[in-house]
Amino acid sequence: MTFTVAIVGRPNVGKSTLFNRLIGKRLALVDDQPGVTRDRREGEAFLFGLRFKVIDTAGLEEAFDQSLEARMRQQTEQAVSEADLVLMLIDARVGVMPIDEHFAKFLRKGKTPIALMANKCEGKVGDIGLMEAYSLGLGEPIPFSAEHGLGSSDLYDIIKEHMEKAAEDKVVASPYIPPANLEAEEEEIPATQDDSEDHDFLDDDDFEEEDEEIVRGPLQLAIVGRPNVGKSTLVNKLLGEERLLTGPEAGITRDAISVEWEYQGRPIKLVDTAGLRRKSKIMDKVEKLSASDTIRALKFAQVVILVLDSDGILEKQDLTIARTVIDEGRALIIAVNKWDACPNKDEVMQLVRDRLQTSLPQVKGIPVVTISALKGQNLNKMLDAVFNIYEIWNRRIPTSGLNRWLSELLEIHPPPAPGGRRIKLKYITQARARPPTFAISCSLPEDLPASYSRFIENNLRDTFDLPGVPIRLHMKKGD
Ligand code: GDP
Ligand code: GDP
């Protein structure tokens, strides 16, 4: 059995665009049977080394006389029945339409797992749709842009997770071998944009490596911070060219969504960053960076650099941004900029450490790097820190080691016994990476004090050397 993913959603949400992305400029297998499956396309998909079969349900709208809902239902039913995972797309720019709700309701009734994707999310207009998407009751939506190739890393995580679950029940054959009666055609995918930006959905060469962690594609980096701290200057320096003008005439970068470059042979994709945007003509320098600006920057980011001005260190607003980054599960680096012009370096450093300690005690070891964007000082050190934390954020710890640690910990510091009932913690496993997420089976999860969970989390962080990244710990009911 090949793991099969069906792409569903109302017309025009971007199903075919995603399908084309997933099969890439490779052989597209077009199943041309008449009837319900007319025009239905399926093919072998590749995503950072994952291989699976993908079914596109687009293009059937004109085939029937019935209402749109009935037609969609028909085509969807068929695809869903064959799928191990359903990707339901909405158009985040338009928001949730009644027909999407109808669709979601129908999908929720079935047994096939569903991942909700808020497509066309690349710009600010997509934010509302992304928020609305939660209302569909299909869990957390994945921000995505099929056209610009953003969000594929999250998609990878979801597909991988479901593949692993499915593999527990049955052996999943790989690679996918197409049925003999399907004719292979070379399909030309019309280029939707400059291909140079498209490395997120990889080229052929990228599939050579079998190690999934290596074939992950570029590190997605966002640079955030209050106005005037030096973000644009930093971005310019990093890219080594004045392509992102800091002046008001910087019209050319207005629509920039991402820029990719390399650091020591490792690709980095700078995503939706203030420094990538045109500055408004009358940029108010005291203008606040809103929470929604931060969330937008985080949408596609894996690592976030929070830039501070050494002149006004870790103000309330900075801490709010830092907290948002952590809450969203991203890895955070703090870059204290304008270090060249800082007269009281020791004092500033102490202040940063103190504030982090008091305001973000839940994440110990957030890297702090002092830089001068203007003079290009310490930028390598900063990027080293970026790759280092990215590695930690991706880390997977073997279950055996975790359980050994847990049983030792429980012996020394047993959980409390509220009302005389001892809470039992049995088994721990790392459910996910990116960020490291752990599940512990617990006899009375509701009764476990938060302080004890925090204690476990801190000990886990120290023992397994996971500094500076958010850690998620879920207590699951179990005996
Ligand atoms: P389908 O009917 O669901 O298969 O949708 P298509 O894949 O044909 O896409 C519908 C339209 O949306 C096309 O014009 C695409 O170029 C556009 N589109 C698809 N994905 C994106 C995206 O991520 N962002 C934007 N802005 N447009 C997209
Ligand atoms: P942004 O609003 O965060 O993008 O900030 P800009 O990059 O526009 O920088 C704001 C001001 O700070 C400009 O006048 C920069 O020249 C200055 N600046 C940026 N980085 C540095 C630095 O490392 N040292 C010094 N002394 N000034 C800097």
pLDDT digits (tens, 9 = 90+) for 256-308: 567 777 888 888 888 765 544 444 444 444 344 555 666 777 878 899 999 99
- Range name among 35-39, 167-171, 266-270, 399-403 with the lowest pLDDT average: 35-39
Interval 143-160: pLDDT, tens: 999 988 888 888 988 999
Provide the 10 A C-beta neighbour count for residue 311. 14
**What residues does ligand 2 touch, defined as CB less than 6 Å away?**
225, 227-233, 246, 275, 337-338, 340-341, 372-374
Kindly list the distances between the CA atom of residue 308 and the CA atoms of 166, 275, 326, 411, in Å, as whole numbers in the listed order. 45, 14, 17, 43
Task: Name the least confident of 212-221, 339-348, 373-382.
Answer: 212-221
Whether ligand 1 lies within 6 angstroms of the CB of 15 is answered as yes
pLDDT of 183: 39
β-strands 331-337, 303-309: how paired? parallel
**Closest ligand 2 atom to Cα of 226:** 3
Angle (deg, nearest 10), helices 98-109 and 68-82:
30
For 188-234, the three-class secondary structure string (H helix, E strand, C coil) is: CCCCCCCHHHCCCCCCHHHHCCCCCCHHHCCEEEEEECCCCCCHHHH
Choosing from 288, 374, 377, 378 the residue with most ligand 2 atoms within 8 A of its CB, the one to mutate for a pocket test is 374
Atom of ligand 1 nearest to the CA of 9: 3
What the block records as the tokens of 24 is 């890439």
Whether 88 is in the pocket of ligand 1, judged by its Cβ within 6 Å, is no
Q: Which of 10, 17, 272 to mutate to test the pocket of ligand 1 (most atoms within 8 A of CB)?
A: 17
Of 53-67, 69-83, 257-271, 342-356, the one with minimum mean pLDDT is: 53-67
pLDDT at 353 over 70: yes
- pLDDT mean across residues, the chain: 78
pLDDT of residue 308: 93
Q: Model-level pTM?
A: 0.67
Phi, psi (rounded to 5 degrees) for 315: -75, 175
- pLDDT tens-digit series, residues 174-232: 444 444 443 334 334 344 433 333 333 333 333 333 344 444 678 989 998 888 888 88
The better pLDDT of the pair 177, 418 is held by 418
Using the mean position of ligand 1's atoms as its centre, give its distance from the Cα of residue 14 in Å: 4
In short, whether 146's Cβ falls inside 6 Å of ligand 1 is yes
In this prediction, residue 64 carries a pLDDT of: 45
What pLDDT, on a 0 to 100 scale, did the predictor assign at position 437?
Answer: 93
The CB of 61 under 6 Å from ligand 1? The reply is: no
61's tokens: 């709208």
Nearest ligand to the CA of 244 is 2
